[in-house]
A and B are shown apart, each in its own frame.
Chain A
Amino acid sequence: GAGVSQSPSNKVTEKGKDVELRCDPISGHTALYWYRQSLGQGLEFLIYFQGNSAPDKSGLPSDRFSAERTGGSVSTLTIQRTQQEDSAVYLCASSPSGGTPGELFFGEGSRLTVL
């Protein structure tokens, strides 16, 4: 498959548990983004990786959220001590262009439900 791959597609967890969401971007894309979309809401920017540069974490809502990108490819978004308000679809996107955000190619998302 040539698209952005995300896993798991669905995750149900209990309040207080940690979760990890994975994103495998399109091969060769240097930029990677995480967004969150709550039910019926717009896209909320979380974090941006560009090559080997320090990530732009300006959208992370709290210190319970973190993300890493290994080897300039796969990224993992970690949410610690999940809360019910964390329930949302987490979308990953990659882009072939560096610098400022260009055209984004999104995955199908990981739907997180916190009980």
Chain B
Amino acid sequence: EDQVTQSPEALRLQEGESSSLNCSYTVSGLRGLFWYRQDPGKGPEFLFTLYSAGEEKEKERLKATLTKKESFLHITAPKPEDSATYLCAPKGQFYFGTGTSLTVIP
């Protein structure tokens, strides 16, 4: 059965403490993966599309990478404004992962 699993469910970081979020998937014929950010009370906001293993995308303090079985969202020197829930979703499917809730403490 196709599925997407995100870990950890929640992550608390001190400002400036770099870390990574994981999105692992068992989707046959994966055609790419999306990352989204969701702030409380708002709809998800698109961040990145990764199409193939080895691909990397960067935006400010965020870098997304993709392998054949998982994707990582690396956060370098995070700031409090990076606090949000980060969601991944396989391209071509309607479902999303359950997300990682990130809190960055000043």
Contact = CB atoms under 8 A, between A and B. Distances in A.
A pairs with B: yes
Most chain B beta-carbon neighbours within 10 Å: one of A102, A103, A108: A103
Contact of A43 (B34, B45, B96): B96
A100 B46 CA distance: 17
Measured as residues with beta carbon below 8 angstroms from the partner, the interface class of chain B is: 20 to 34
Contact of B43 (A41, A42, A48, A91): A91
Contacts, number: 48
B49 A48 contact: no
Q: Helix, strand, loop or mixed for chain A's interface?
A: loop
Interface in B47-106: 49, 87, 91-99
Given A43-B44, A101-B91, 15 more contacts: A33-B94, A41-B98, A42-B98, A42-B99, A43-B87, A43-B96, A45-B95, A101-B93, A101-B94, A103-B49, A104-B36, A106-B44, A108-B42, A108-B43, A109-B42
